[in-house]
């Protein structure tokens, strides 16, 4: 299991590697992340990610590159984030539809009450408001 900081670091590493196609160093990650932590802390997190199988180091003095496990993890996180966005959008649309239905029902109730009173002028005003909303 990786920590939240390691998760973010892995995300930065993958994005940087995709854009440069070069192994990513701890110093390079420090510049990209703009975090207030030292490069040795980043190296410690990179070591933990290496032990977990998310990244590898082509040779001793090279930076790190993501593994297939890292890409799968990255894709799953992106998909779950996208699904949350879709779910949030659907909830917002349902709320808007409900508010519109409540508004329409209120106007119908006003119209029904006015019909009971046989006030043609009020009926026309309500229908005009309704027509403007549609």
- Which residue ranges make up each domain of the chain? 4-66, 83-133
Q: Which of 88, 90, 60, 74 is nearest to 15 (CA)?
A: 74
Tell me which fold the domain 4-66 belongs to. Answer: Arc Repressor Mutant, subunit A (1.10.10)
Confidence of residue 17 (pLDDT cuts 50, 70, 90): very high
Confidence of residue 47 (pLDDT cuts 50, 70, 90): very high
Confidence of residue 38 (pLDDT cuts 50, 70, 90): confident
Kindly report, residue by residue over 48-73, the tens digit of the pLDDT: 999 999 999 988 778 899 999 999 99
Q: Which of 107, 105, 98, 16 is nearest to 55 (CA)?
A: 16
């Amino acid at each position: 299991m990786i920590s939240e900081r390691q998760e973010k670091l892995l995300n930065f590493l993958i994005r940087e590697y995709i854009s440069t196609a070069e192994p990513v160093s701890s110093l390079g990650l420090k510049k990209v992340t703009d975090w207030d932590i030292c490069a040795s802390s980043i190296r410690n997190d990179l070591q933990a990610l290496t032990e977990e199988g998310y990244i590898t180091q082509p040779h001793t003095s090279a930076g790190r590159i993501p593994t297939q496990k890292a890409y799968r993890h990255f894709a799953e996180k992106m998909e779950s984030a996208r699904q949350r966005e879709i779910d949030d959008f659907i909830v917002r649309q349902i709320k808007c539809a409900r508010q519109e239905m409540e508004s329409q029902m209120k106007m119908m109730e006003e119209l029904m009450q006015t019909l009971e009173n046989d006030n043609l002028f009020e009926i026309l005003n309500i229908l005009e408001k309704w027509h403007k909303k549609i």
